[in-house]
């Protein structure tokens, strides 16, 4: 109420000052206008009388003069006219004798002396008068003066009227200001605040988890947005606390973000965790006149972002967005996530030539097909190798700058883009604890031997204190490769490599995801599932009894073509499902200017068109292929309601799509069809495991998934979810960070 009164008082005060100011100027202008009008009227009248008066004076006709001046006595606001001789004595006058005009006589004498007309305001008998005296000249001599007297009291009346009118207007405006201020404050401030307060009360007491909705453009929307984020944090904290309490009662020990945060704090004390990757977790792009923040799709971001949100630190990555430089500071740094900063993103910007050679060339036309044994020939070019070395050095320089004030820093490098980075870091900072996680498979020594710079890559990798792979098989391949091409000592009992005084541990760390807290209310689950399914059908343009989903970056290693052919074979073998089952492929285009990827998209489109042409009807299609960069929010409805999900990679490190699908199923339903060549197949044994090269086997797997009883589907999904709850990304991170921080750093870089 006090704020409202202050606001009203301020508005009324401002309105009063404005009205007073404008009224003052209006009064001044009106007074000047009316005065000028009297001056002009008096001047015109005297000019009209001047010649006649002079003629009568010359003729010495007092009677004629008297008749002349009395003729003007009845004019509007004219008090009278008088004629004076050269000494200032009145000759004739039509002015009422009861009016004392002594002041006017003074002006008459002044006019005779100065020889010019004089206008002035005088007060006669309490009334304002306007007098105008003008000299009379005859034969170049001043023979007298002519006086015209007007009533000027109407000017004061007009001024008073203006003040009164504007005062009434001020009263009306004040009343309207009070009413409108009270209403606006009530509707725009008090009511939304009451709504937010009630919503916060419900959040605090656990009655709701829904976000608040205010009208578009509401002045309190920024506050509501921040409070919404706060409520989400509160809800997550409450859910985490409930989960921790449940686990304590069940004598279980599941890793959570809070537990990881506390564990890392104890392990690394006040050190920051430095994460290095090619892909950044948040990129900024220009959308017209606006800048939009996008979370890139991919397993690496899915896995690492929750870790740094929990632990804090710095994520160093290639800034690939066209608005990345605008949104970062001079050193490429900015806090992320934008809505609730938890750690620092430091961007490194590459030239087009560097990106072309290091990323598209050596990394993705060389190492990628080399490690994924999918019968695509790797291409190695010297220029690409030079750019790969240049970019690795650029990242090394940035990391050295970032850790310059830290003692024994922890550096966690991601993937095949930075095979040389561990050695480059250790060359400058041998005290650093360096880990590298290789997210893709490691081939056998014969395959890796194709690379012209295999020894340089191995030396670069062995600069790390710890190298992690998804599965033990890839660790074995790596150790055998080192044993084949470098002079070193392999300790197969401890799984480490000793070379030139340095020791590198090689261990499996199966990566995972942050398993969400699942709601327990069955009616809420049923309603949300129905809503999500409607979103899916709206997206694909029709409804169907069953549908399956596949979510991939469009890559020849993902087995997308084989998946489509399996769907075709499924309809050939089980025609009863024509018109009842649709497979939806969500594909994110990538590396499209590499010929192999460009050709793959064309091949996939042709295959989908061929299959659809064979089986589609007017209101149904067997395959819907949606090529776009889909956000997690867009993918979620497909995950949550699909009858089956197909993950059919021809060769893969882990593949987190399989785990994301399992984690999303709050209804404990759905079937996962999983390639035996993924790391995930080692953990998710309750999926239908298939050989993606066998079209027949995959077609039968689709049929088995669709006819599987609900009880079996639920039991399989529950067992897989229990595995993911226990082996989540926080446990993965804790294992790596713990192993890295406890390793003895013994590398002698001078010898090496």
Q: How far apart are CA 190 and CA 556, in angstroms?
A: 58
Decide which of 473 and 51 is more confident. Answer: 473
Q: Are 152 and 36 in contact (CB under 8 A)?
A: no
Write the DSSP assignment of 462-515 as a string of letters.
Answer: TTSSEEEESSHHHHHHHHHHHHHHS--EEETTTTEEEETTEEEEEEE------P
Please give the pLDDT value at position 297.
64
Contacts of 104 (CB under 8 A, 6+ apart): 82, 122, 124, 129, 131, 133, 147, 149
- What is the phi/psi pair of residue 505, to 5°? -85, 140
Tens of pLDDT, residue by residue over 695-706, are 999 999 999 999
Q: What's the N-to-C CA distance of the chain in angstroms?
A: 76
- Under the phi-then-psi rule, with left for phi > 0, alpha for psi from -120 to 50, and beta for the rest, what region is 77? left
pLDDT higher at 182 or 172: 172
Q: Are 558 and 635 in contact (CB under 8 A)?
A: no
pLDDT of residue 299: 62
pLDDT at 117 over 90: no
Q: Sign of the C-alpha dihedral, residues 692, 693, 695, 701?
A: negative
Q: Check if the beta carbon of residue 604 is closer than 8 Å to that of residue 377.
A: no
Dmax (CA) of the chain: 147
- Give the length of the chain: 752
Whether residue 207 is predicted with pLDDT greater than 80 in this model: the reply is no
Structure tokens at 198: 């009630």
Task: Name the helix (H) or strand (E) containing 561.
Answer: helix 560-573
The answer to whether 77 touches 58, Cβ cutoff 8 Å, is: no
CA distance 247 to 238: 14
Percent of residues, the chain, with pLDDT higher than 90: 47
Q: Specify the DSSP element, H or E, that contains 705.
A: helix 695-707
Torsion, Cα of 198, 236, 312, 253 (10° steps): 150
Of residues 210 and 499, the one with the higher pLDDT is 499
Closest CA to 1 of 223, 210, 258, 181: 181
pLDDT for the residue 236: 64
pLDDT, position 702? 97
3-state class (DSSP) for residue 84: strand
Helix (H) or strand (E) holding 160: helix 153-184
639-668 pLDDT tens trace: 999 999 999 999 998 999 999 999 999 999
Instruction: Give the pLDDT confidence of 528-559 residue by residue, as tens digits.
Output: 888 999 999 999 999 999 999 999 999 999 99
Q: Given pLDDT bands bounded at 50, 70 and 90, which one contains residue 406?
A: confident
Sheet containing 581-588: which strands, arranged edge to edge? 623-627, 581-588, 546-553, 644-647, 671-675, 688-690
For residue 139, the model assigns a pLDDT of 76
Specify whether the CB–CB gap between 83 and 93 falls below 8 A: yes
Q: How far apart (Å, rounded) are the C-alpha atoms in residues 559 and 647? A: 8
Q: Which residue has the higher pLDDT, 187 or 387?
A: 387
Q: Judge whether residue 216 has pLDDT over 60.
A: no
Please report where in the chains the tokens 């608005």 appear, as a residue: 323
At 451, is the pLDDT very low, low, confident or very high (cuts 50, 70, 90)? very high
Phi, psi of 438 (to 5 degrees): -95, 105
Higher pLDDT, residue 380 or 121: 380
Sheet holding 273-276, edge to edge: 333-336, 343-348, 314-318, 273-276, 410-414, 433-437, 466-469, 502-508, 496-499, 489-491
Mean pLDDT across the stretch 515-533? Answer: 73
pLDDT of residue 749: 43
Q: Tokens for 361, please give them.
A: 């060339």
Q: Looking at residues 465-474, what average pLDDT do you find?
A: 95
Using alpha carbons, list the distances in angstroms from residue 572 to 378, 550, 625, 673, 700.
36, 20, 20, 19, 11
Give the tens place of pLDDT for each residue, 221-254.
Answer: 666 666 666 666 666 666 666 555 555 544 446 7
Strands annotated E in 342-465 = 343-348, 410-414, 433-437
In whole angstroms, give the CA distance from residue 535 to residue 88: 104
Whole-number Å distance between alpha carbons of 160 and 158: 5
Q: Return the structure tokens found at 325.
A: 């430089």
Q: Which H or E element spans position 674?
A: strand 671-675
pLDDT at residue 418 greater than cutoff 90? yes
Q: What domains does the chain contain, in order, with CATH numbers?
A: 2-157 (3.30.450.20), 261-469 (3.40.50.2000), 522-727 (3.40.50.2000)
| Average pLDDT rounded to a whole number, residues 39-56 | 80
The pLDDT score that the predictor gives to residue 23 is 86
Supply the DSSP symbol for 288.
T
Q: Is the pLDDT of residue 598 over 90?
A: no
Span of 112-126, 201-215, 577-591 with lowest mean pLDDT? 201-215
Q: What share of the chain is helix, strand, coil (3-state, %, to 5)?
A: 50, 20, 30
Output DSSP code: residue 278. Answer: S
Distance, in Å, from the CA atom of 744 to the CA atom of 203, rounded to the nearest integer, reads: 48
- Residue 369 tokens read as 């097909």
| Span 703-720, pLDDT tens digits | 999 999 999 999 999 999
Quick one: which H or E segment has residue 725? Answer: helix 710-726
Average pLDDT, the chain: 86
- The predicted pLDDT at position 587 comes to 92
> Per-residue pLDDT for 523 more than 80?
no
> How many CA atoms are closer than 13 Å to the CA of 76, on its beta-carbon side?
4
Q: Which residues of 295-330 are buried (b: 16+ CB within 10 A; e: fewer)?
A: bbbbbbbbbbbbbbbbbbbbbbbbbbbebbeebbee
In eight-state DSSP terms, residue 364 is I
Which of 30-44, 482-496, 636-650, 725-739 bottoms out in mean pLDDT, i.e. has the lowest?
A: 30-44
Residue 413 and residue 436 in contact, taking contact as beta carbons nearer than 8 Å: yes
Write the Ramachandran bin of 89: left for phi over 0, alpha for psi from -120 to 50, otherwise beta: beta
Contact 341, 315 (CB under 8 A): no
- What is the arithmetic mean of pLDDT over 576-582? 97
Among residues 21, 752, 731, the alpha carbon closest in space to that of 306 is found at: 731
508, 468 contact by CB (below 8 A):
yes
Cis peptide leading into residue 337 (ω within 30°):
yes
Q: Which residues pair with 410 in a beta bridge?
A: 273, 433
Q: For the residues 592-601, what does the mean pLDDT come to?
A: 87
């Amino acid at each position: 109420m006090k704020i409202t009164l202050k606001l009203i008082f301020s508005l009324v005060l401002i309105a009063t000052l404005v009205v007073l100011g404008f009224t003052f100027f209006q009064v001044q202008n009106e007074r000047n206008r009316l005065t000028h009008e009297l001056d002009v009227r008096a001047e015109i009248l005297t000019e009209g009388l001047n010649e006649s008066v002079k003629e009568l004076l010359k003729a010495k006709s007092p009677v004629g003069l008297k008749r002349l001046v009395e003729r003007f006595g009845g004019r509007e606001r004219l008090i009278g006219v008088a004629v004076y001789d050269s000494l200032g004595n009145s000759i004739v006058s039509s002015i009422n004798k009861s009016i004392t005009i002594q002041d006017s006589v003074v002006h008459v004498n002044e006019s005779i002396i100065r020889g010019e007309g004089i206008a002035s305001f005088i007060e006669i008998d309490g009334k304002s008068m306007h007098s105008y005296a003008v000299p009379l000249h005859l034969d170049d001599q001043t023979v007298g003066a002519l006086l015209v007297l007007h009533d000027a009291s109407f000017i004061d009346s007009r001024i008073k009227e203006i003040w009164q009118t504007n005062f009434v207007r001020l009263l009306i405006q004040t009343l309207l200001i009070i009413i409108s201020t009270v209403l606006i404050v009530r509707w725009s401030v008090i009511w939304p605040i009451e709504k937010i307060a009630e919503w916060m009360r419900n959040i605090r007491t656990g009655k709701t988890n829904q976000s608040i909705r205010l009208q578009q453009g509401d002045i309190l929307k920024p506050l509501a947005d921040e409070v919404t984020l706060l409520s989400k944090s509160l809800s997550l904290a409450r859910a985490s606390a409930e989960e921790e309490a449940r686990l304590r009662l069940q004598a279980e020990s599941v890793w959570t973000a809070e537990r990881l945060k506390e564990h890392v704090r104890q392990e690394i004390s006040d050190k920051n965790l430095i994460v290095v990757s090619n892909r950044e977790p948040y990129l900024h792009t220009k959308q017209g006149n606006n800048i939009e923040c996008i979370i890139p799709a991919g397993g690496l971001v899915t896995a690492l972002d929750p870790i740094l949100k929990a632990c804090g630190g710095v994520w160093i990555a290639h800034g690939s967005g066209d608005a990345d430089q605008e949104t970062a500071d001079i050193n490429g740094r900015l806090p992320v996530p934008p809505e609730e900063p938890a750690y620092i993103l430091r961007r490194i910007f590459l030239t087009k030539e560097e990106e072309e050679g290091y990323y598209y060339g050596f990394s993705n036309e060389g190492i990628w097909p080399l490690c994924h044994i999918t019968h695509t020939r790797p291409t190695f070019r010297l220029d690409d190798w030079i750019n790969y070395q240049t970019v690795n050095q650029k990242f090394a320089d940035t990391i050295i700058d970032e850790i310059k004030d830290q003692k024994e820093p922890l550096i966690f490098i991601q993937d095949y883009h930075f095979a040389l980075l561990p050695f480059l870091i250790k060359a400058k900072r041998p005290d650093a604890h360096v880990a590298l996680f290789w997210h893709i498979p490691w081939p056998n020594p014969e395959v890796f031997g194709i690379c012209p710079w295999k020894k340089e890559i191995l030396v670069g990798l062995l600069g790390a204190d710890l190298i992690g792979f998804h599965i033990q098989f890839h660790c074995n391949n790596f150790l055998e490769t080192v044993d084949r091409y470098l002079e070193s000592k392999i300790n197969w009992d401890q799984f480490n490599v000793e070379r030139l005084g340095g020791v590198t541990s090689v261990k499996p760390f199966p990566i995972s995801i942050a398993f969400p807290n699942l709601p327990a209310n069955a009616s809420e689950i049923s309603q949300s599932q129905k809503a999500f399914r409607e979103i899916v059908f709206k997206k694909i343009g029709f409804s169907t009894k069953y549908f399956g989903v596949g979510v991939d970056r469009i890559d020849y290693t993902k087995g997308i073509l084989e998946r489509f052919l399996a769907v075709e074979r499924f309809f050939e073998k089980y025609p009863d499902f024509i018109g009842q089952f649709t497979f939806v492929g969500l594909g994110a285009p990538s590396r499209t200017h590499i010929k192999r990827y460009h050709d793959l998209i064309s091949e996939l489109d042709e295959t989908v068109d061929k299959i659809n042409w064979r089986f589609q009807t007017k209101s149904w299609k067997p395959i819907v292929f949606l090529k776009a960069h889909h956000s997690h929010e867009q993918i979620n409805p497909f995950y949550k309601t699909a009858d089956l999900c197909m993950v059919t990679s021809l060769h893969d490190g882990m593949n987190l799509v399989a785990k994301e699908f399992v984690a999303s199923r709050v209804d404990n339903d759905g079937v996962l069809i999983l390639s035996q060549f993924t790391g995930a197949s080692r953990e998710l044994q309750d999926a239908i495991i298939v050989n993606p090269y066998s079209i027949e086997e995959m077609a039968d797997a689709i049929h088995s998934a669709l006819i599987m009883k609900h009880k079996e589907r639920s039991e399989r999904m529950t067992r897989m979810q229990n595995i993911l709850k226990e082996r989540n990304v926080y446990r993965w991170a804790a294992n790596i960070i713990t192993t890295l921080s406890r390793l003895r750093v013994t590398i002698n870089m001078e010898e090496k």
